[in-house]
Structure 1
């Protein structure tokens, strides 16, 4: 049976870049993926929107459905009023030995200055300065400086500007149910969360890299049956 979390390595990411990065992480020094050896894990996305919750849990669980299980099949409206102990009893009865949780923390607006850029055209010779080549602007030999500068200067410099971005902070936790304790945690920062699938993939990719860096996951681990 495949081990939990190693399956995340097999996620196919559509984009070359990522809008998500790790802000902070923590690891129980006495815990590691190889020690836990999870076989049945619950995936919990704590979101106000039920459709977003299901989409997030399904996306994560789809990477290894034999191990990962969406929480909405076990913790839902039917048992919403149960106590914490009663909910924990359900998970123990179902045989879960691990839990992964995702929780929205906050959204922050940040203003970023985008610096101007200088652009240089190559292979144009000296347009409008004696060679009779207008460079596409209709400025031939003998054109005055004002017209020449007005036509060409904009192509050489783009002014800087301020841009306001909204960053979304998500907390990801891994719990060892056998010992009922938190074993790894991280906070990620995402610029764009309009596409749930892309955002979840980016969060999982960032977490896998960080787990390796923290020593929770073997850097050389591979997905094996």
Structure 2
């Protein structure tokens, strides 16, 4: 199995995919697969405005294997004013043959109402244990059961992050795979990056970009 393919598959093996991250859609080049490319040096680029988040995301992926290199080492403030062609030449001179990019497409908040729930307690009690309750006024009855009888509803806010992952072949100078993932309730950026990569690899195995095993 090719080095890059094995590396991506190993990401899935290391830990299970987070239930908070899932693939929304994907596309692969019908003529080229990731497994066929035999990448030897891959640039990892997180396209986010925050430099700290960029470094966390790129470092997380690059830590998996030496084949990955962080983009901030090569494309940073010192190369900001260069043209697209000049930046591409830097990568070619450094012998990169592949690029993986992660881009935040959107961030959406949704508020939903979670209705209240009743417990199994009810006015007649269980098996006649509380038969004396029938003689009580409502105040006494409610005072006995209210702590366990009803859990009130509440509003819950969920934040969803849509992230686009692209894989480019610099040898072919084209996009060979792209997919969008949705992650909810993100609390740790590093773990979310892991989950995105796991979801991406799972989808590539499904669409034939990587061997199924």
Deviation at residue 108 of structure 1 after TM alignment = 1.3
Unaligned runs of 5+ in 1: 131-139, 221-225
- Rate the CA distance shift 1:126–1:194 in 2: closer, same or farther, 3 A: same
Aligned counterpart, 2:179: 186
CA distance 1:214–1:112, shift in 2 (3 Å) = farther
1:164 corresponds to 2:157: yes
> Which residue number corresponds to residue 212 of structure 1?
205
Q: CA deviation at 1:126?
A: 4.7
SS of residue in 2 equivalent to 1:81: coil
Superposed counterparts of 1:43-54, under 5 Å: 43-54=44-55
Aligned match for 2:130, one of 128, 131, 146: 128
Residue 67 (structure 1) aligned with residue 67 (structure 2): yes
How many residues align? The count is 207
Q: Given that residues 192 and 199 in structure 1 are in contact (C-alpha distance below 8 angstroms), is that contact kept between their aligned partners in structure 2?
A: no
Map of 1:67-106 to 2, 5 A cutoff? 67-106=67-106
1:99 and 1:158 mapped to 2: Cα distance? 51
Secondary structure of the residue aligned to 1:184 is strand
Given that 2:98 and 2:171 are in contact with CA atoms closer than 8 Å, whether structure 1 keeps it comes out as yes
User: 1:57, CA displacement in angstroms?
Assistant: 0.2
The residue that corresponds to 2:31 in the other structure is 30
Pick from 8, 11, 17 the counterpart of residue 8 of structure 1: 11
Q: TM-score, normalised by structure 1?
A: 0.81
> Normalising to structure 2: TM-score of the pair?
0.85
Unaligned segments of structure 2, at least 5 residues? none
My pick for the range that moved more, 107-116 or 19-28, is: 107-116
> What corresponds to 1:175 in structure 2?
168
Compute the displacement of 1:160 (Å). Answer: 3.8
